[in-house]
Every structure is written in C-alpha cells, then in structure tokens.
Amino acid sequence: MEKRTLALIGALILIAAAIIVLTPLSPNRSFTGTAVAPGNRTAINAEKAKLYPYAKEIAEPSGFVNVDNITIASLVGKDVILVDFWTYSCINCERTIPYLNLWYSEYHDQGLEIIGVHTPEFQFEHDINNVRMAVRKFGIQYPVVLDNNYATWDSYGNQYWPEDYLVDIDGFIVYHHIGEGDYNETEAEIQDLLRERAAALGLNITISNTTSVPSDAVAVNFSAVGSPETYFGAARNQYLANGNSSVTGLQTLVIPAQVQLNGLYLSGTWDFADQYAENTGNASIVFPYEAKNVYFVASADNATAVQVLLDGKPVTDLAGPDVTNGTVTIQADRLYSLVQGSGYGTHTLELDIPEPGLNAYTFTFG
C-alpha cells in the first residue's frame, strides 16, 4: 500500500516538527457504520481527517468472550487500538496470534489495546463456548468480542481473515493490513503511534524501536505453497474431482486409479451440506497437494480415530501435533494439524475414516 507522510504542526500538538509515517487504508475501500468521535486535538484532527477515516464502533456484539464489555469510544483519546478480525479455525489467523500475544505483552502497559473481533466463517464458530476454548488454547489475554452477525465486519468493510486496523489516539484508522506477514512493519507502526500517544498525553516513557519474533511463530514460504484452501461443503467445493460440485445431498463416490494435484477425491457415501460433507459409513479422502504443512477443519459426532497416510504410508516423522502413531482423533469442532513437513514438496494425503458422522469442512496448507 502507498505510504503517505503526515507532517504534524509542532506548535499545535506541543511537539516541534513532529513527523509520523503512517499507512492509510486504500482510498477505494468504502466504510459504513457509526464513526467514533475524534479527540479534542482539533487542529491535528482536522489535518488527519483529510487522509484517514475515523474508527468504527463495535456494532451489535453477539457476546464478550473474555471481558465484560469494551467499546472503541471508551479507548479513543487514551489508547492506541489494534482491531483484529479473526476466526478460530482459520490457520492464517492462528499463525498471527503469537505476534498479537507478544505485542499485547510488550505494549499493553504503554498504551496499546488489542480487540479481537471474532467473526465466524463456519456455523460452529458462532458458539461462544467454542470460542472461549480456542482463546484459552491460544493463550489470548486481550479482549475478544463475538461478531456473529457480521455487523462490525460490515461496518469496517472487512473482507478477509485475518485483517487488522490500527487506530491512533485520536480515533483515526491510520494503518491497515490484510492477511499474514509484514509483522515488523506492523510492530513499527504500533511503536510510532505509541510515541505519538505519549507525546500527546505528556508522558515521559520510552517506546522500543526494535521488533521481535515470537518463539512460537510459524514461518511460511507462500511462494512454495502450491495448493489452495479446499472446501468440502457444496457452497465452495469446486475442487471436488470425482463427484458433482456445488450440489447438496447424498453422493456415493469411488476414487479413480489416477488422481491429479489439488483434486479432492472421496470414497464412500457422503452427504453434502453447504459448509461441510459428512460420511454416512466407512469412507476415505485423498488429496494430492504441494506444501509443507497440512491442516484439516473437521468435527465428528463421536470421537473418531482417522488414519493419516502420506504417500501411501502412515505418517510418522512428519506427523502434525494432532497425530499420534499415524492416527488423528477427531471430535471437537476445530482445526487439526495433520502433517508438519520438513520442507516443501508434492505429496498425497489419504485419510481413512472407519465410522460415519465425520464432518469435513476444509483443507488448508502452509
């Protein structure tokens, strides 16, 4: 995104010749919803308003996961705010959480507030208890708000998981980032905004100018990932290679002798709903992929031990943390890590499912 420099008149904000480098939102992005009123720094707000939109309030929250209540308005004029749109079964979101946790730990006492806006992709992500379990699993301490009706998502004109908005002390959205990556840049922007906050509030504090990588961060070379997110449900299962895509209801399928890269192949009888496909008896899934790591969003009526094979053999040394002795036990509605490769390459994944009632949502890769 284009960088713009906003020169702030020193006499007006009590900082001589202060210059803050900020990345604004794309001018083509439209915004709706109620804007939070800016602070009382009238002159500087007038200059900012020429470049940046005001932050939007949390709209029609469906619940508060780990806090009694929180609003954007209560923070404007006091804190820098990072609004993070996420959903708990999204691997892209999961890989950003170590950075969010680190920033909250490092900068919360210096004036940073993070608000996680949990906007669900799948129906099971509407359940506040599921979200609470995920928040505990990921060690999230910053406030998380449920956005089950997409009210806040729509207010911000949001389009992706994850997607982040940095709000300065005056309530302006001055930086925006889509997806993973650029963590050093985002942390540097946080630091700049915290310095502006300290100056505006007359605080004598020192903000770090170095950036860090969390110890539990997972690096991904996206140029080496050759497989797309692949959905099972009829609403988005265009990669279904041996059945009728975009069709709900029962299909009995047979895996052919030859399979193609990035083709989703199923055997057995499957009942396709919009968001997932459910096996009605003994079944299997085959997917040739190009990546290092493989993740599976799924659930099951009862705990179901699914055998995981890689290139025709039970996965062992390349098994993901959810796989033990070549088997993953699926029940809870969540993302399961199946393969944790040592390098990027082309492989064939096979899942053998011995019992009915497994709901398969999506494969994702890294």
**pLDDT at residue 7, rounded to an integer:** 29
**pLDDT at residue 4, rounded to an integer:** 28
Q: How many residues does the chain have?
A: 366
The yes-or-no verdict on residue 20 having pLDDT over 80 is no
For the chain, the helix, strand and coil percentages under 3-state DSSP, each to the nearest 5: 20, 35, 45
Q: What residues contact residue 293 under an 8 Å CB cut-off, 6+ apart?
A: 218, 320, 337, 339, 340, 341, 365, 366
**pLDDT at residue 42, rounded to an integer:** 86
Cβ burial, residue 26 (10 Å; 0-12/13-18/19+)? exposed
The yes-or-no verdict on residue 208 having pLDDT over 50 is yes
The CA-to-CA distance between both ends of the chain, in Å, stands at 24
Task: Convert the pLDDT of each residue in 251-299 to its tens digit.
Answer: 999 999 999 999 999 999 999 999 999 999 999 999 999 999 999 999 9
Alpha-carbon span 165 to 20, nearest angstrom:
17
The yes-or-no verdict on residue 202 having pLDDT over 50 is yes
Token digits for 241?
């290679």
pTM: 0.88
**pLDDT at residue 43, rounded to an integer:** 87
Q: Which segments of 160-218 does DSSP mark as H helices, in order?
A: 183-201
Task: Convert the pLDDT of each residue in 290-334 to its tens digit.
Answer: 999 999 999 999 999 999 999 999 999 999 999 999 999 999 999
The candidate with the shortest Cα–Cα distance to 290, out of 263, 257, 265, is: 263
Task: Convert the pLDDT of each residue in 152-172 to its tens digit.
Answer: 999 999 999 999 999 999 999
Cβ burial, residue 266 (10 Å; 0-12/13-18/19+)? buried
